Structures are given as C-alpha cells and as structure tokens.
Chains A and B, each alone.
Chain A
Amino acid sequence: MRIWTRGGALFAAASAIVLIAGCGSSGGSASSGTSGGGGATQGLTPPQAGTAVPASVGQTEGHLNLIAWEGYAQPQWVKPFQQATGCQVSTKYAGSSSEMVSLMANGGGGQYDLVSASGDADLRLIYGGDVKPININLMPSWKNFHPFLQSPPFNTIGGKHYGISLQFGPNVLLYSKSAFPSAPTSWSVLYNKKYAGQVTVPNNPIQIADAALYLSKTQPGLGITDPYELTQSQFNAAVNLLKQQKPLIKKYWDLASQEISLFSSGTTVVGAAWPYQTNTLVADHQKVADTIPAQGATGWADTWMLATKAPHPNCAYKWMQWATTPKVQAQQAVYFGETPANKLACPIMDQIQKGSCAAYHANAPESYYQTIKFWKTPLAQCGNGKNDCVPFQQWVSAWTQITG
C-alpha cells in the first residue's frame, strides 16, 4: 500500500520513523493464511508468529526492565526475586493501556522486557509485532491456572502464547450505602436521571463495551453477542446510550485515587469501579460497597507479555515464572484487590488476609468467570468472519464525541 512519491531522503526517513513509532517493527503484514485462536483474528497472522521460542531458560542477564501497572512490582515480591535470580528490576509505571502501547512501540525499543498489558492492549501489541511468543512449557505454574486463563483469545493466537496470564478482576458497580440501602441489581442506575451529577465512570473508550453489555441484555433486538465486536448499528446504539448518560456524569475518572476521593467526599454516589477502590474505601471506614449487577460485568485480565526486542529475555522468563507462583500471585492479589490466575494462590491469600480468597472470587466455580466479559482490543474483524465491526480507532473518536 505504500506509495512513494517525490521527496527523497526526508520522506524515506519520515516514513521509516513513523513506521517504527506508530506500528511496531514490522507492522502486521496482512496475509490470508489460516489462524486459530480467537475468532476475532481470522485472516491475520501476527508478525512475530514465526519467532522461535527458547527451549530452556539460559544464563540471567542481571537486569530486568518492566512496564507495569502501579502496584504490580511491589518490594514484597521484587526483593526476593532479585536475591534469588540476581536480576535487578527497574519498573516503569504506565497510567493507561495507551501509554503502555506507546512505550512498547518498536518491540519495546530494546529497552523494556515485559509489559503487564491488559486485554484491551494485547491484540494491538500482538498485531503490532511488539511482543513475541513465549514457550509456555517453561512456566511450571501454568498447569494450575484457571482453565479460561490458560489460552485466552486475548493473548493466545493460533496456539502461540504471547505471554502468560497474571491477574484479573471484574469492573464492578460501586455505590454509596447511604444512597442505596440495598445493593442495586442493574447497571441501569448509571443511566438513571435520579442520580444526575452523582455518577462517575472510567475515562476509557473501552467503556463503550459496558454500555453494549447492558444493551445486550436490555435490548436483545440489537443482537449484541460480544460487547467488543459491534457492528455499526450496535455500536451507534451503545454510543447513544452513553451520550444520554453524559449529563448525569460528574467526572470521568482517570485515576483510581480520583474515584476514591469522589466517593469519600460524597461527591458521587454510584459509579463503575475496580474492586481496588472498594477495598481502599472500606478500609478507610467509608460506607460504600460494590456489586456485579444482573447483566454481568466487563473485566480486565492482565498478561505479562514479552517484548520483541527484550534485552534480558532470561530474566524475563524467570520473572514470569516467579510472578505466577502461588505465593506471589496471592501477595499481588491481596495488595491490588484482584483475582490471581493461579488456583493454588487461594489458601495463601487467606493467610495474608482472612477471607480474601472468597472476597476476590479466587475459588469461584468456572461458571462465575464466564459471566465476565474480558477486555480485548476491538478489531474490524468480527467473530463471524466478517469485517464489518467497528475498530478501536472509531471507539476512541466516538468516546471523544461522548465526553466532548
């Protein structure tokens, strides 16, 4: 598709830089080959799919550079790792999936080894060629994972694992107990004029999926089956719902701490949140609680993904092994308020904080997890093999229109 016009060197340099900056090293060449994995990926092969994986973990390099969510590289489990492996860990905290993808441009730039990407960034990283497959057989804890997190469609394409699942959690409905004596049973409270000016939702285009999930149950006529694979008409319905919601919103929150202060000051009484906010507020004796309404919930699932140009791959493998051990899984789950991928973490969670295993659903039956629709990057390719779904760029511009 590249059209070379006049302009010579500058243009050549420009396009090369842009290629690298904008879309990773080799830019996801389209091919009509076969691919399994998630239905959303038919007709596309990730650029790094052919990259060979190591048969064993070699000599460690002494350093490891992570891009992570805040709270994912706490001293409690980083220090023992450094002592055990000699890999000195440096962590760059990213504030959003967008920032993670920006930082991972060009395969991590030869700078970063691993990124704790969420599902909304995963496919972008995979098809951008910024991450490469790993050898899942080198991960001893993998066999103890909840089955749905062993090879989920957001990080496993065509049987190749582009990283290892880590932790997950639902996007819950957080409410003030003084405004709601009993737990709301439907997401409809977020669209109810009664709470105008007292509602908060995340400032994230992926929020359109929450509206789509709600519509899939309340307006079955739209035929929404997957909130991340929306045809134009389904997408428009979700966007319209969110436009109607706009006047009710006090603040689209960007940081978890913002939502915490919104609720602790009583500015808002209901909103979409992570369990983390609830935990922090409850620990501060605030009268709030959360719930998953009848329509189910969207959720995030994070994966440690290996950068294409990882400078310290052996330390990276050691870290993926370490981060998925039951103890570290439990520590992180309790610290952040999320659910570990490793089933064996449950009893250790209860040792750290009594009742936390059940509180974070770490021992829930598989059917519970099926109610959570995990984030994935919306692509034009739908699960039905058609290419009429709305891609993420349009989600972003629609979100700009909604939030104005």
Chain B
Amino acid sequence: MEGRLARIGLRIWVGGVLLFLFVPIAIICFYAFNSSNIQSWPIQGLSVKWFSVAWHDPQVRAAFVLSLKAGVFATAIALLLGSAAAFGVHRFRFFGREAVSLLLVLPLALPGIITGIALNSAFSFAGIGLSLLTIVIGHATFCIVVVYNNVIARLRRVSGSVYEASADLGAHGFFTFRTVTLPMLSTALISGALLAFALSFDEVIVTTFTAGAQNTLPLWIFGAIRLGQQLPEVNVVVVAVLLLTVIPVIIAVRLTGGGGITRGSAAARSAMDSGSPGA
C-alpha cells in the first residue's frame, strides 16, 4: 500500500522523530564540555575538566555501584516472579484472574510518590531499616510487571499447536517447558530484563523514599542539579552511562531481532494464528 510519496513522507517523519528523541541527548553531550556550571545558550566556553572531576568523585562511584546492584537484584527478582505470574495467568483459568493482571500493572500505573510513601510507611512499621534491600523491594515491585508483560505477550503468541506437537511427540509438561517454551521465551526474557533494569537504573521517585543514607545514581543527579554547581559533571556521568550501555543495548536488540520477532517468523506465526493477530 506504500506509494513513493508515502515512503518519502514516512522517511521524513522518522527523521523528525529521531531528531526529537536525540536533540536533548546531544545537548547533554555538548554541555558535558561546558566550562561554566550555568547552562546558557550558546555555550560560553569549552572544557574537559569535568571528566576528571567525575572520574575522581567518590560519591559518583558509590552511587553508580549502588544503582548497578539495585538494578541487578531487582531484575533478578522481576525475572523470577514476573515470569511465574505470566505462566500462572496464561495457563490457568481461575477466579480473580482478571484482578490479578490488573494488580500486577498497578505499580507502573500509579504515581511513584504513592508507592514510595506507602512502602516507606510499611518498612517503618515493620522495623526494616532502609538499605539496598528496601531499594530492591521497591524497584522489583514495578519491574515485575515489565517482565510479566513481555513473557505473557510471548506466551500468547506462541501457538497452542506447538505444545500439542510437543505432546504428540510424547513430551510431558516439564520437558516441553525446558525444550520448547523456554527457548521461545528467551528473547522475551532478555528484552524484559533489559527494560526492567533500565527502569530500575533510572528511578528517582520511589527510590527517594525507599533508599537509606546511600544515594543511587539518579538520586545523586537530582541532588547535583538542585544547586547546579555540578551540572556539567551530571552531563559527563550521563554520557558515560550512555556509552557504557550502547553495546549491551545493541546486542540485546540483535538477539531479540528488534522487539522480539523478525518478519520471517512473523509470517510463519501469523499463519499459525490463522490471521487473528492481536486477539
């Protein structure tokens, strides 16, 4: 259905959206070299001193390490509980099934400040001191839904006929799970984990109320922009994180073939779905 004009129009649109997405990133990269700590346009002077400042800043290092730890643990919990929930909701019909899937989405759907305050009161009541553990609990709560969504979407797409074929060949539940379900899920798990980690790594609002005296990276950034003395240093740190994540993100996108499935397998699958996608 794509005429030549439409194709050109679409290209321009895509270019425009990319520009929209990347101009702020370009600004961040650019102002990492700002000699002044006031961001004014056009930039007043250039300097590379902030790279050394950021590198030698123990607060930045500690915050980075804490964010990394929180992200890894929260993602691990989310992978376990999120995929378990997805299996349960997908495979079994039970009373309150709808409510369960609603409940799982809630931590993403409700304002972070609510989750933050509620968890803070609960920890306080239970006498749990705020620490890495409480950050992980807070993050895992909203990361679970990300993994859940990815896994359940994949489970729905995988045609029931695959299981039947496996069963026809005599495989029982667990064997089918290990040799059929899991490999088909692997890319969904990878993209779910990636998104969950990204969410955790960049979360501010819930973390404000669930982190103890130690700062995660976003908390450090929020602190640093208040007075603005360290604005260029913040930009340096953001650029560094971007550079560190480019490679893993590209690898993950390649593995998952761009969000999950390549065109070829899409055609095959749609044949299996007998032309009822989205249902």
Interface residues of A (CB under 8 A from B): 13, 16-18, 20-22, 65-67, 70-71, 75, 90-93, 95, 99, 102-103, 105-106, 109-112, 255-257, 260-261, 264-265, 276, 280-281, 284, 286
Alpha-carbon separation in the docked complex, A199 to B3 (Å): 53
Contacts A13-B125, A92-B212 supplied; 14 other A-B pairs, CB < 8 Å: A16-B125, A17-B124, A20-B124, A21-B120, A21-B121, A65-B213, A70-B226, A71-B229, A90-B213, A93-B219, A103-B209, A257-B226, A264-B38, A286-B38
**Residues from chain B with Cβ under 8 Å of A21 in the complex:** 117, 120-121, 124-125
In the complex, are the beta carbons of A70 and B124 less than 8 A apart? no
Given A93-B215, A257-B227, the answer on whether A99 and B208 have CB atoms closer than 8 Å is yes
Q: Is the CB of A92 within 8 A of B213?
A: yes
Q: Which residue of A lies closest to B122 (CB)?
A: A17
Interface residues of B in 87-130 (CB under 8 A from A): 117, 120-125, 127, 129-130
Contact A255–B225 (Cβ < 8 Å): yes
Q: Which 5 A-B pairs have the closest CB atoms?
A: A257-B228, A21-B121, A93-B223, A65-B213, A90-B213
B125: A residues at CB distance < 8 A: 13, 16-17, 20-21
Q: Is residue B211 within 8 Å, beta carbon to beta carbon, of the partner chain?
A: yes
Q: Given contacts A17-B121, A20-B124, is CB(A109)–CB(B129) below 8 Å?
A: yes
Chain A residues positioned under 8 Å from B224 (CB to CB) = 70
Task: Check B124 against A257 for contact (C-beta < 8 Å).
Answer: no
CB distance from A238 to the nearest CB of B (A): 27
Q: From B225, which residue of chain A is reached at the shortest CB distance?
A: A257
Cβ of A254 to closest chain B Cβ, rounded Å: 9
Distance in Å from the Cβ of B195 to the closest Cβ of chain A?
28
When the two chains form the complex, which single residue of A92, A95, A281 contacts B215, counting CB atoms closer than 8 Å? A92
Q: Please name the residue on chain B nearest to A255 by beta carbon.
A: B226
B residues near A255, Cβ cutoff 8 Å: 225-228
Q: Smallest distance from the beta carbon of A204 to chain B beta carbons, Å?
A: 14
What distance in Å separates the Cβ of B192 from its nearest Cβ neighbour in chain A?
31
- B113 → chain A closest CB, angstroms: 10
CB <8 Å contact, B228 and A111: no
> Interface residues of B, CB < 8 Å — how many?
35
Which chain B positions have C-beta within 8 A of A102? 117, 120, 209
Contact A256 B130 (CB under 8 A): no
A-B contact count (CB 8 A): 99
Bound together, the chains give a CA A110 to CA B213 distance in angstroms of: 11
Cβ of B39 and Cβ of A261 under 8 Å apart? yes
- Give complex CA distance A106, B129 in Å: 11
User: B residues within 8 A CB of A65?
Assistant: 212-213
B222 at interface by CB-CB < 8 Å:
yes
Give Cα A109 to B122, complex, Å: 12
Shortest CB distance B57–A (Å)? 9
Q: Are A261 and B212 closer than 8 Å at their CB atoms? A: no
- Interface assignment of B231: CB less than 8 Å from any CB of chain A: yes
> B170 to chain A: closest CB distance in Å?
51
Q: Which residues of B contact A90 (CB under 8 A)?
A: 212-214
List residues of chain B with CB within 8 A of the CB of A281: 38
> A70: which B residues are within 8 A, CB to CB?
223-224, 226-227
Which residues of chain A come closer than 8 Å to B229, judged between CB atoms?
71, 280
Q: Are A109 and B124 in contact (CB under 8 A)?
A: yes
Report the minimum CB–CB distance from A341 to chain B (whole Å). Answer: 21
Q: State A136–B37 Cα separation when bound (angstroms).
A: 39
In the assembled complex, B36 has its CB within 8 A of some CB on chain A: yes
Which chain B residues lie closer than 8 Å to A257 at the CB level? Answer: 225-228, 231
> Which residues on the A side are within 8 Å of B130 (C-beta)?
109, 111
**CB atoms of A95 and B222 under 8 A apart:** yes
B24 CB to nearest chain A CB (Å) = 15
Contact residues, B41-86 vs A (CB, 8 A) = 41, 44, 58
Q: In the complex, how many angstroms separate the beta carbon of A14 from the nearest chain B beta carbon?
A: 9
What's the nearest-Cβ distance from chain B to residue A306, in Å?
A: 15
CA distance A308 to B226 in the complex (A): 28
Assembled-state Cα–Cα distance A90/B219 (Å)? 13
User: Chain B contacts of A264 at CB under 8 A?
Assistant: 38, 40
Known: A65-B213, A109-B130, A111-B130. A93 touches B226 (CB 8 A): yes
A216–B24 alpha-carbon span in the complex (Å): 46
Given A75, A105, A260, which contacts B228 in the complex, CB threshold below 8 Å?
A260
